[in-house]
Amino acid sequence: VSVTIIEARQLSGVNMNPVVCVQVGDQRKYTSVKESTNCPYFNEYFVFDFHIIASVLLDKMITISVRVLHSRNILRSGTKIGSFKLDVGTVYDAPDHHFYHKWAVLTDPDDVTGGCKGYVKCDIAVFGKGDKIKVIVVPQKKSNADDDDIESNLLLPNNSPVERQRARFIVAIYRGEGFPRMNTGIMANVKKVGEVKDLVDPYVQVSFAGKKVFRHNYNNIIIIIIIIIIIYYIIVIIIIIVVIIAGANVHKERPLQSSLE
């Protein structure tokens, strides 16, 4: 996976020291820090190597984020302006397995109504064993702002609208049954002589976009409606529902009214 960060424009703020973080999976790499500008020019190239099966690689996320540093010596000391996420599979499905000179729209994931926080011009390519590599020519000097139409050259999957769509996902979980009995230690002996019980303390975990919500009912009858509202660009969306069995009531303190937003 190769990513070229060319430049950024219209970053939200003034007199800032921006730096771009490129993350693929768990790997992170940073550009140099530019001083006192909201239109920095980088032209920096990053390569991320993976030795894994294709199905695992294509599910990984590419994240481009811009931070404003308060101290040049500590990259994590800055404030995030916005970020852009794209899965590797979307890049691989693009013509020639790459996006060339496209503008990534930065948004604040914690403020879905906050609008655009800026743009990052980049090249992204994904190549595996046996793929034909097309040479990408990177500009050697900063281009004139009037020569580049950002709005008509956004980094979007094929057939995706320019305007981001708002979506609501509802996950309804009604009942759980057939869970294995957790007979361990002293509780197993109590079960033999006492009242017949399942000795199961299940709860449901719903994970979406890295955030989780827990719901549980100690009678094994679960009625849950979880509403998720997001703004998205990418077509590929994965919701993971996990039923976890515990041997003790370790999650009783979790509120039933928690939400996933």
Q: Round to whole Å and give the CA distance between 92 and 87.
A: 9
Mean pLDDT, consecutive 10-residue stretches, the chain (261 aa), reads: 95 90 95 93 96 93 92 68 92 92 88 84 92 67 62 77 66 77 57 56 71 56 51 48 48 39 39
Local structure of 58: helix, strand or coil? helix
Domains and their CATH numbers in the chain: 2-160 (2.60.40.150), 167-246 (no CATH)
CA 11 to chain centroid = 21
- pLDDT, residue 151, reads 84
Q: Are 246 and 203 in contact (CB under 8 A)?
A: yes
Alpha-carbon gap, residue 102 to 105, rounded angstroms: 10
Residue 127: its pLDDT value, please?
92
**DSSP letters along 227-252, please?**
EEEEEE--S---EEEEEEEESS-TTT
How many Å apart are CA 19 and CA 65, to the nearest integer? 8
pTM (two decimals)? 0.64
Spatial distance between the Cα atoms of 216 and 255, rounded to a whole number of angstroms: 10
The pLDDT of residue 222 is 46
**CA–CA gap between residue 76 and residue 239 (Å, rounded):** 29
Q: pLDDT at position 44, please? A: 97
